[in-house]
Structures are given as structure tokens and as C-alpha cells.
Amino acid sequence: MSQITKGRRPPRVGDAPLFRYALITIVMVMVALFIIAPLAVIGIEAFSRGLPYFLETIADPDTRHAIGLTVLTALIAVPINTIFGVAAAWAITKHDFRGKRILTILIEIPFSVSPIVAGVSYLFVYGLQGLFGPALDSVELKIMFALPGIVLASMFVTAPFVARELIPLMQAQGRDLEEAATSLGASGWRTFVSITLPNIKWALLYGVVLCNARVMGEFGAVSVVSGNIRGQTNTLPLHIELLYHDYNAVGAFAAASILATLALVTLVAKVLLERQGAGRRNRPQTLAAPQNSPEVLS
């Protein structure tokens, strides 16, 4: 074996210094232009008239209502989608049944359907002229252009987030621990709480964080089903658009800074959860085994 073979590894694609530095430079320039620059502009414009004007904009009744409606929508939609995601992941990974592949595909549909199309579809189902419209109107139950419609639209666009994080992890973990716990007499609920939940908690929290961020930032579907009524049915993203159309650019940037802050908080939470999950996966198996052992259930 030659000295070159012993001392040097085979060349990798793009290993040349010129290509590597050029690639890194291109990526950094794109990040600066498409991510950092817009965020910087939002912060600069939001405080361009000073802190008092920024606080005045945030304290405006319509802005506070939009923030409150956005938070309320997230408080309703995120827990429901979390329960749905866990149930869907449990059914797909822990059970065999006909139609499993179809169910997996159906869960992914919101990722491939435009939010605008989803909003229009809800109008044709729950609107006054829709499929269930007359029946809902007869009992004076208003879905569209009200909070229920906003929640439904938000739930549709965020439905896959939790399930998509859990399904690959639960498939990789397999069913051995749950089956062992069941054979020892543990109930389904105790098996879930003692075995399954500790093993998926970081992926679950990661999916919840992404779902929450998506709910608060949703525009397309909500703009169709809410009616965008100022001070009544407009969420924060819709309120930002109204401020911009009112030629109140500074106010729009001030309101947008709240969503930008949410994005940064989400990014930090994402990194922390990924580190926690990676650290847990890298622990020695001998340390994790006693916690997950079915013997604790006996």
C-alpha cells in the first residue's frame, strides 16, 4: 500500500477549498438577503418613530384584540392537534390495519393543499350556502366568519405537524416495550404514560412548538373563513395587512415585530428541544433501560 493511500482519504465531492468557500459564501449571502435582512427591517421600522409610538400601536384596542384572538385560537387548536397527532401516530405505528397507508397519506394532505383552497372548501361545507349551512343556521350556530371557523382553518393547516414528528420516531422505536408491558398486565393508558410518552416527549414538544408557531402565523385559510372584520375576527397576521392597507406602515411593522419575536422564540425552542432529544438518544442504553423497562409496571 502506497504512502499516499495510507495518509490521505479519498477526495470528497466539493472538497476543493475554492469550491467549499464559494458554496459557504453563497449560502451566507442568501441567508443574509432572505432571512436576516427582512427581520432587521421589521425591527428597525417598528421602532422608527420611537418606543412610545411602538407601545401606542401595540396598546391599540384593535391590535390587542387581534393578539388576543390569535392566542385564543392557538390555545384551542394546538391541544386538539396534539391529541390528534399522538392518536394518529399511535394508530399507525403500534397497530396493523387495512388502510394504514391511506391514513398516512391523508394526514399529509394539508402540506400539499393551498391554505386558500382549504379556506374556500370550509366555506362550501360550513358556510351559509354550504353543505351544512342551512342546518347550522337553523340552530343559530355560526361557524364561518367567527371563532369556530378560524379555529377549524388553523387546525387544518397544522394537523400534520405533531403526527409527522412522532411517526418516524415511534416506528424506529418499535413495539417491543409496549407489548412487554401489556403482557405483564399493564393497561393501555398506563403503558402509554409509563412507556410511550417518556420516549416521545421531546419529539412531541418539538411538534407542539412548530404547530403553535404555524397557528399564530397562519394567513391564507384564516383570511377566507374569518371575514377579516377589524376588531372582531381578524387575527394578528390579518391585522398587519389592514394596517398596511391603511398606509400605517410603522404600525404594521410594530405588529409584525410580535410575530417576528415569536419566530425567534420558536427557533430557540427548536434548537433546545433538538439538543435535548439528541442528548437523550446518545445516552448509553444501560442507563435508559431501567426507566423504560416493563418491570416498573409489575
pLDDT, tens only, 24-68? 999 999 999 998 999 899 999 999 999 998 999 899 999 999 999
Exposed e or buried b per residue across 236-250, where buried means at least 16 C-beta atoms within 10 angstroms of its C-beta: bbbbbebbeeeeeeb
What is 217-236 written as a DSSP string? H--HHHHHHH---TTTT--H
Residue 287: C-alpha distances to residues 191, 282, 283, 290 (Å): 20, 11, 7, 7
User: In this structure, is the dihedral angle defined by the CA atoms of residues 171, 173, 179 and 181, taken in order, positive or negative?
Assistant: negative
Residues in the chain: 298
Distance CA 268, CA 290 (A): 31
Distance CA 147, CA 228 (A): 11
Exposed e or buried b per residue across 97-113, where buried means at least 16 C-beta atoms within 10 angstroms of its C-beta: eeeeeeeeeebeebeee
Spatial contact of 255 and 58, defined as CB atoms under 8 Å apart? yes
Which residue from 231, 224, 78, 62 is spatially nearest to 144, judged by alpha carbons? 224
Spatial contact of 158 and 80, defined as CB atoms under 8 Å apart? no
- Can you give the residue ranges of every domain in the chain? 13-46, 51-297
Round the average pLDDT of the chain to a whole number and report it.
86
Question: What is the CA 67 to chain-centroid distance, rounded?
Answer: 18
Q: Provide the residue-wise pLDDT of the chain in tens; the chain has 298 residues.
A: 455 455 566 666 666 788 888 999 999 999 999 989 998 999 999 999 999 989 998 999 999 999 999 999 999 999 999 999 999 999 999 888 898 999 999 999 999 899 999 999 999 999 888 899 899 989 989 999 999 999 999 999 999 999 999 999 999 988 888 888 888 888 878 888 888 888 898 889 989 999 999 999 999 999 999 988 888 999 999 999 999 999 999 999 999 999 888 888 888 887 887 777 665 555 544 334 444 444 444 4
Question: What CATH number has the domain spanning 51-297?
Answer: 1.10.3720.10
The model's pTM: 0.82
Spatial contact of 76 and 152, defined as CB atoms under 8 Å apart? no
Residue 137: C-alpha distances to residues 112, 131, 133, 224, 257 (Å): 32, 11, 6, 19, 39
For residue 85, which amino acid is it? G
Which residue is listed with cell 425567534?
Answer: 264
Q: Residue 64 CB: number of other CB atoms within 10 A?
A: 13
Distance CA 231, CA 58 (A): 13
SS (H, E, C) 100-140: HHHHHHHHHHHHHCCHHHHHHHHHHHHCCCCCCHHHHHHCC
